[in-house]
Amino acid sequence: MLNEIKKLRESFNQEIDGISDGDSLDELEVSYLGRKSGKLNNILRGLKDLAEDDRKKVGPLANKLKKEIEENIVIKRKELIHGKASEEFFDVTLPGTKFPEGHLHLVTQAIREITHIFEKIGFTRVKYPEVEWDYYAFGALNMPLDHPARDEWETFFIDAEPVGPKGKRILTPHTSSGQVREMEKGKLPIRMINISKCYRRQADVSHLPMFHQFEGLLIAEQVTIANLKGTLEYFFKNYYGPDRKYRLRPFHFRFTEPSFEIDVSCDLCQGRGCKMCKAGWLELGGAGMVHPNVLKAGKIDPHKYSGFAFGWGVERVFLMKPGLNIPDIRMLYNNDLRFLQQF
């Protein structure tokens, strides 16, 4: 009996392949499934004469073949009526599949926003090399070769002999290296905003070995601290909104006199003090009035011109945006999509 079922399947498959019109298909259907003399029904009818055990085996197989034959006949009939292609109907009006879309990295967004704010008051964005000469990062900024103030910038040095008068090559530890480069262009007044990558040997919740700074430099006649404070105030109001607290703390930098450090009230702890800020204020960077020696290094007459400068960390400034609540600066660069996609 099992053998008969097998043979029947084979012969059906062969016959249906050769069929090319509806009438022959009808005939085929009757010859297999017809009530009276259909080949399959003969088998089904014979089942009752089998021993119970055999019936249990053969019955399901015969029924399976019956279903197969029925389905194949339906498919063949559709093919004969519509042609094969109609099975794969394609609706050209369906909307396409959307590819997942990314967005600019948070730091890029911050850089663009900061640039835009300063451009509105006449500053121009520039970029200077990340692999820099010792001279621009230190020497020209009133820190001669053996000056201990250099230690403040935990600098990476390039392992190569110095060539020429500008000393060793380093990975620039701050964007202040752009100050004298900008002066060397020989155009006054200067209103520069230099944004670039900086490198230092440091890593913890509020420090990264690679980070970004933005450096403002304004040089013209009769520039005063009032201009510096006004510019900082303008930036704070535009970036953080009208109510954010910030403060200027007297400090010492070799390239500005007087100098300040700028702190913003910490948004993570609302000024109570936390791991990020320590005492409720987060230091964003420095600022001050450009030192006459720096102007001289840039071939600018300090008796005629004066200027202010400031240099802050982009990532830190960004972290202090109201409501962000990012507890560790390193999260910005872990590249965890679950984090990045929230912004």
Task: Catalog residues that contact ligand DAH under the rule CB under 6 A.
Answer: 174, 176, 215, 253, 256, 259, 285-288, 309-311
With respect to ligand DAH, which residue has the nearer C-beta, 176 or 231?
176
With respect to ligand DAH, which residue has the nearer C-beta, 38 or 311?
311
With respect to ligand DAH, which residue has the nearer C-beta, 40 or 195?
195
Query: Could you tell me which residues are beta bridge partners of residue 248?
Result: 262
Taking the CA atoms of 265, 268, 270 and 274 in sequence, report the sign of the dihedral they define: negative
Name the minimum Å distance from CB 313 to ligand DAH: 8
With respect to ligand DAH, which residue has the nearer C-beta, 155 or 176?
176
Residue 275, token pair as written in the block? 């791991």
With respect to ligand DAH, which residue has the nearer C-beta, 240 or 253?
253
Name the minimum Å distance from CB 93 to ligand DAH: 59
Name the minimum Å distance from CB 214 to ligand DAH: 10
Nearest residue to ligand DAH by CB is 286
d(CA 272, CA 178): 36
Name the minimum Å distance from CB 309 to ligand DAH: 3
Query: Could you tell me which residues are beta bridge partners of residue 40?
Result: none
- Answer left, alpha or beta for residue 323, where phi above 0 means left and psi between -120 and 50 means alpha: left
Name the minimum Å distance from CB 272 to ligand DAH: 26
With respect to ligand DAH, which residue has the nearer C-beta, 40 or 193?
193
DSSP state of 331: G
Using a 10 angstrom Cβ sphere, with 0-12 exposed, 13-18 middle and 19 or more buried, the burial of residue 282 is buried
DSSP 3-state of 52: helix
With respect to ligand DAH, which residue has the nearer C-beta, 32 or 118?
118
Name the minimum Å distance from CB 175 to ligand DAH: 7
Name the minimum Å distance from CB 253 to ligand DAH: 4
| Distance from the Cα of residue 182 to its chain's centroid | 31
Within 8 A by CB and 6+ apart from 213, the residues are 174, 175, 195, 196, 198, 285, 311, 312, 313, 314
Within 8 A by CB and 6+ apart from 193, the residues are 114, 115, 118, 119, 123, 124, 125, 126, 214, 215, 216
